[in-house]
Chains A and B, each alone.
Chain A
């Protein structure tokens, strides 16, 4: 069972420096992730994305995020300083928890 609370801690520790999830919040170094699920890549209003992310034709959801967060650099040209949370079981669970938290928090 994916753990939203654990995901929240991971988000605060590793991702909140550059991202927020609250509706209407100002972008930081990275885009505000509110409204992420069900949205096409590169669509957070008011953020200046690289062209590769904007042109990528995928919809963010649990599966696409699971894949992306393992290897964010498969979208080349991303400005993110993040090499991904790699495969092993512990890492897989970390990604799942993080995604469970994002699914809830970006929709509030």
Chain B
């Protein structure tokens, strides 16, 4: 730990090292007891059998070298366009790296080379517009990559090369308008894909094709107008599908055909006036119990005979229906304003 202790602020002249360390620890204890708004002048360091956990928030000084047994590092709330180039040097055991809420504009391509055991990388709330090629060359162990709330307008497949073990990819809250084809083709272990709160108007039909076993797909808060019949076919074991807050006006008849275990479907706040017959046949009861439920509220439903299929389906799983009071008919005139459930019951 000798290189680490060199980074601590100088103690007042003449005080012996163990006394100044005691004062330092007392300051930390005091800080964490009062602690809600007080930010320590130094990074917090916790040692355990597993290794060192270091947590730095502004105005602490970012360490220029890390203990060799560092397993967890958080550097957050700094106003930094770039990180010190060799921040991670020597921390070869690092497992988790939390870099949220800085102002990072770019990352150096070699940045992650010193940390081949990294499992989690959180870059939420920075200013990244892209990633350098080769960034993840040594990141075969990375399970979780979060790029939420950055400024990505495009996504290049090459940026993600090397992420063999990726299980969780969060690209939400960016400015993505289009996705490249074959984005997920090489992700064998991806379980969660979050593309929510972007500007996606269309999706490549082969988006979900690949060896992955997706469980969660977030597409809420985009500008999708159509849900095609091929999108979900490659992912029969999908459990959670969020499509709320788009501009969906049309869902293809076979869109949910292949799904076998869907537990949650959110289609709320779209522009659905009608849906094709047979759309719901394979979902929920009597095939399986949707463990969490579904939401089709906030749509301009036209409650005519074209919805008879939907009415039957609703009655079979109404105990799983969210927002029942907000799921209402926009027409025809005779039933305008009534809940879909009421109309379904009266059929």
Chain A residues at the B interface, C-beta cutoff of 8 Å: 5-6, 8-9, 12-13, 16-17, 50-52, 55-57, 67, 73-77, 79, 81, 83
Closest to B76 in A: A73
CB within 8 Å for A57 and B33 given contacts A9-B295, A73-B76, A83-B124: yes
**Are A73 and B32 neighbours in the complex by a CB distance under 8 Å?**
no
Q: In whole angstroms, how far apart are the Cα atoms of A67 and B149 in the complex?
A: 21
Pair count A-B, CB < 8 A: 72
Q: In whole angstroms, how far apart are the Cα atoms of A37 and B33 in the complex?
A: 20
In the complex, besides A13-B220, A83-B101, 13 extra interface pairs with C-beta distance below 8 angstroms are: A5-B322, A9-B295, A12-B240, A12-B292, A13-B242, A56-B35, A76-B44, A77-B46, A79-B96, A81-B120, A81-B124, A81-B146, A83-B100
**Are B101 and A50 neighbours in the complex by a CB distance under 8 Å?**
no
Q: In whole angstroms, how far apart are the Cα atoms of A37 and B234 in the complex?
A: 42
**Are B98 and A52 neighbours in the complex by a CB distance under 8 Å?**
no
**Are B98 and A81 neighbours in the complex by a CB distance under 8 Å?**
yes
**Are A81 and B264 neighbours in the complex by a CB distance under 8 Å?**
no
Q: Which of B90-135 contact A (CB under 8 A)?
A: 96, 98, 100-101, 120, 122, 124-125
Q: Which of B127-180 contact A (CB under 8 A)?
A: 144, 146, 148-149, 168, 170
Q: For the complex, would chain B's binding face be called helix, strand, loop or mixed by DSSP majority?
A: strand
Closest to B240 in A: A12
**Are A77 and B55 neighbours in the complex by a CB distance under 8 Å?**
yes
Q: Inside 8 A of A55's CB, which chain B residues have their CB?
A: 32
- Number of chain B residues close to chain A: CB under 8 A: 42
**Are B192 and A52 neighbours in the complex by a CB distance under 8 Å?**
no
| Interface hub of B36, B101, B168 (most chain A Cβ within 10 A) | B36
Q: In whole angstroms, how far apart are the Cα atoms of A41 and B55 in the complex?
A: 19
The one of A9, A52, A57 in contact with B46, judged by C-beta atoms closer than 8 angstroms, is A52
CB within 8 Å for A5 and B192 given contacts A12-B292, A74-B37, A81-B120: no
Q: Inside 8 A of A9's CB, which chain B residues have their CB?
A: 266, 295, 322
| 29 A-B pairs (CB sep. < 8 Å) | A6-B323, A8-B322, A12-B292, A13-B218, A13-B220, A17-B168, A50-B53, A51-B48, A51-B53, A55-B32, A56-B35, A73-B57, A73-B100, A73-B101, A75-B35, A76-B40, A76-B44, A76-B55, A76-B57, A76-B74, A77-B44, A77-B72, A77-B74, A79-B98, A79-B120, A81-B146, A81-B170, A83-B125, A83-B148
